Amino acid sequence: MAEQVMTQAPGNVWKVLVKEGDSVAAGDTLFILEVMKTEVPHEAESAGTVTKLHIAEEDAVDVGQLALEIG
């Protein structure tokens, strides 16, 4: 089951904790945005492999932007 992980708020990418090819479990933190001085962690909803990463640390992102894909 493929999963597309979208950004929840506009901000800066603070940390990307996975790379393409990594296996992840449901609930794993994938990346953390910094929004208004607040850390906003984004977690995997399903287990799988990170097939595509669309963001990098320090990127400015908008809300609802495709950040990464899990296959």
Partner 1 sequence: MKKILIANRGEIACRIIRSCRALGLKTVAVYSEADANAKHVDEADEAIAIGPAAAKESYLVADKVLAAANEAGADAVHPGYGFLAENEGFARAVAEAGMIWIGPRPETIADMGDKERARLLAHGAGVPIVPGSPRFMVNDNAGLEAAGDEVGFPLLVKATAGGGGIGMKRVDAAEDLLATVETTQNMAEKAFGDGAVYLEKLIDQPRHIEIQVFGFGDGGAVHFFERECSIQRRFQKIIEESPAPGLKREIRDAMATAALALTKQERYRGAGTIEFILAPDGQFFFLEMNTRIQVEHPVTEMTTGEDLVGLQLRLARGEEVSKLQQDSIASHGHAIECRIYAENPAKNFLPSPGPLDVYSPPSQGGGIRVDTGVRQGDQVTYFYDPMIAKLITHGVERDVAIEKMLAALDDFRIEGIVTNIPFLKRVLTHPAYLGGRTHTGFVDEHKDDLFKE
Q: Is 9 in the site for partner 1 (CB under 8 A)?
A: yes
Which of 48/67 has CB closer to partner 1?
67
CA distance 36 to 46: 28
Window of 3-11, 17-25, 45-53 that interacts with partner 1 by CB under 8 A: 3-11
Q: How far is the CB of 54 from partner 1 (least distance, A)?
A: 19
Q: Which of residues 33-52 bind partner 1 (CB under 8 A)?
A: 35-38, 40
- Please report the DSSP string for 12-33 in residue order: EEEEE---TT-EE-TT-EEEEE
* Tokens at 12, concatenated: 């800066």
